[in-house]
Chains A and B, each alone.
Chain A
């Protein structure tokens, strides 16, 4: 079992429709592959943590890195873990029209994301918190007006 965290930039902003498709497709594929985790999206900023069997997780990351819909994929962490911390795979973002999303399974508004599981080490939990901060800004209840560009490390 391992987990991987990365941040990236969408090539063009994702519409509500894009996000919904991404959610349903990813949930279907990930459930089949035993991948759990969470994806954050806001104004072109993308960050994802996912966990699974090493071979599956590695091939998933390879596919993600090649995906033309985003660029500047920067892997922050890739290391073995003793056990899963997430029970399913979910996404958090600000839809332009939130009405239709409330009932979607695996969807959260950024400020409704459940507390991080206790099984994550503090270092990993802090990493996810920083990633969330980088994607949603200091106040996740408000979609940021001008998206702060994600600065990537060298």
Chain B
């Protein structure tokens, strides 16, 4: 616009001076500063007028100086954007940026006359541009970080818009679901939700979008292998008030294992509670301080009181009033010491009846938390039964004792009259004379009857005494010695019958037993063997003590006598006064007594017998049949 015209008149040049842009003319081939306005003075310094620009460049960049001759020569305008102009010496904060323009102008003969230099300060724009650039760098950095984080975190991130379209899902989503990267998220996602959860999820997401809120729910999502896994979906809207939210950003976490575990725990607890509620016992738990915090259903059914009415210590008021104080004291003591609680108390039922219960409670230390677990067991019926049985037992024991006393007394008291009778009879026989031979036979029979009478009384007395002696002290007995003593007592009968006796106790010479009992057993068996000898041969009796392969001591008496008929030889039953051979004198007490003694000490008797050949008695001292 300045081309072809002379420099403006003064008011115009005055205007130029005050222009905020720098303006200068470079005149002639030497390009001397002609006109320099105020703004340009700041750039090229004072006193520039008349100086060639090459000698007085001021802060102008060398790049501009280099192109000057060419611009002058060719007459083509030149512009340079945002050139850095540095004052000498350079100071960073003084750096300024200028858009520089060179515009050739000509004189009237259209010959190149000079250049017009324009400098527009663009420092602020440049700073802003640089700031924008740095911001872009930072943003890119942040974006990269966010991307790495979202794509490596073990959860799926996603974004959906206000219409419910899913516009982003992190790569984890594709890995989890096994869907191709080209999958249409909005269409496919709902199809991957478990049919039972789908409607609920869609409804809740829709509600959240409508109200502009976030969501937080769990559902089952189909995994790449076809399994449905529980996931937790949480999202929040991106809000820029006052506009309604446009995007929802969220994360999806797999919570399958936690959920299964929680379910198992819930199930476990529900099952335990069900169990406790189903047991027909009063079950309760208490805190470490002894305050009851759970009663099972049976407790409320039994007492007719609610859990609130029972309260932390109300159970004690169910007890019989006379037992409450003791029970309370004991409970406080157990809570203080941690000992187990146990007691038998009467507890009031809802109908007012008191029933006996055993109350037991123990402390369970589960980690740091102590808890008490208690149960009240109804033992009322057992107690009643026990009482009835005890009464019956006492009565029986008394009756038994009375009977024993009676038998003993009777046999004892009858012996004296029997002796008297024998004395009188002997006296009668000595003084009176009988002529009839049948009378002599009669005398013999009376004599025999008297002897049998006396023996019966004696044996009865022994039986009773033996029963009383069952609590005799037990000691290690030398079987050989005892046998010797007993056989010595039976010597007369043995000699009379010409009996042969073999004794062999070497294999098991010792026995732990009551002395009187052992003597009684041996005496009865040997005297039986002598008594029931076969009339055709002298008795041969073998006594043997040995151990079974199990180490059990056995005593055996074998004879060659009459033998017996046995119903069950391995478990024979001998009854009082029952006799096998009625033609032989005896009282029928002996074997009964043997069996009683052996059985009452936990052993048993075995018999092997053949009629006419003999009998073998085996006494198993320590093992019942």
Contacts and interface: CB of A to CB of B under 8 A. Distances in A.
Interface size for chain A: under 10, 10 to 19, 20 to 34, or 35 or more residues? Answer: 20 to 34
Given A130-B332, A133-B335, A138-B337, A76 B291 contact: yes
A125 interface: yes
Contact of A122 (B288, B291, B317): B317
B335 A151 contact: no
A121 interface: yes
A138 B336 contact: yes
Given A126-B328, A126-B331, A150-B289, A77 B312 contact: yes
Contacts of B337: 138
A122 B325 contact: yes
B183 interface: no
A153 interface: yes
B336 A122 contact: no
Interface in B289-326: 289-291, 293, 311-317, 324-325
B80 interface: no
Interface string B548-590: 0000000000000000000000000000000000000000000
A105 interface: no
A154 B269 CA distance: 15
Interface string A98-117: 00000000000000000000
A134 B331 CA distance: 13
A134 B289 contact: yes
A123 B312 CA distance: 9
Contacts of A122: 316-317, 324-325, 328
Contact of B291 (A79, A124, A130, A138): A130
Nearest to B310: A123
A150 B331 CA distance: 18
Contacts of B290: 130, 133-134
A127 B328 CA distance: 9
A150 B291 CA distance: 12
Interface in A128-142: 129-131, 133-134, 138
A146 interface: no
A153 B328 contact: no
Contacts of A124: 313
A152 interface: yes
Contacts of B314: 123
A22 B9 CA distance: 97
Interface of B: 287-291, 293, 311-317, 324-325, 328, 331-332, 335-337, 369-370
